[in-house]
Chains A and B, each alone.
Chain A
Amino acid sequence: GAVVSQHPSRVICKSGTSVKIECRSLDFQATTMFWYRQFPKQSLMLMATSNEGSKATYEQGVEKDKFLINHASLTLSTLTVTSAHPEDSSFYICSAKLAGGASSYNEQFFGPGTRLTVL
């Protein structure tokens, strides 16, 4: 149980184009999803917290107009990298938190990640 998928797993795009990454919780409902960015050989950096039906909360330094997050349902959140540039190339990982769990239950389930390469 508690499986999270991401699509696509790998994408290559030209500079200036937009790319959408999907994050789905396959067998549970997630009121909260998180988007992380990971540079090669570095740790995960939280980009934003996505709550179903409301606007995402972005971490300091993350451009909300560049990284558009939509959490339209309890099982789907999307991250759109707009006008992508080579410096946006990275590994993007999403995670999902169980809905309806105890307020103190803090476990996140992670997707397999999406490798974005901007040429």
Chain B
Amino acid sequence: AQSVTQPDIHITVSEGASLELRCNYSYGATPYLFWYVQSPGQGLQLLLKYFSGDTLVQGIKGFEAEFKRSQSSFNLRKPSVHWSDAAEYFCAGGPGTASKLTFGTGTRLQVTL
């Protein structure tokens, strides 16, 4: 089945350290991929998206993600994490011509001071 997988349920990093959150997809054609962040009790905020073109995508809040077809991955990165980045991060995707999105199970990021 076509899906999006986030292997890490929970990640803890120190403030100022670099961050990488993993996301793998299983779509045959080039998928549409997104990263969202959700603070407790809140809705989702779009960090970045990939449709086509440059495989390194820049997003808001200093985040970036790289689409790697050979690895079926779309990992989210940030060079220096801030305490305010602590939240739940969701990778989501869908086949090119469909409207529905499938969400990964999420990765909870904890930032230690």
Q: Give the B-binding residues of A (Cβ under 8 A).
A: 6, 32, 34, 41-46, 49, 91, 93, 97, 103-113, 115
Contacts and interface: CB of A to CB of B under 8 A. Distances in A.
Contacts of B100: 34, 46, 49
Nearest to A115: B41
Contacts, number: 57
Identify the interface centre among B43, B51, B103, B105: most chain A CB within 10 Å of its CB. B43
Q: What range describes how many residues of B lie at the interface?
A: 20 to 34
B46 interface: yes
Nearest to A6: B43
Contacts of A41: 108
Nearest to B88: A41
Interface SS of chain A = strand
Contact of B99 (A32, A43, A44): A32
Contacts of B102: 46
B90 A43 contact: yes
Contact of A43 (B41, B43, B94, B104): B104
B104 to A, nearest CB: 7
Interface string B82-106: 0000000010001011111111111
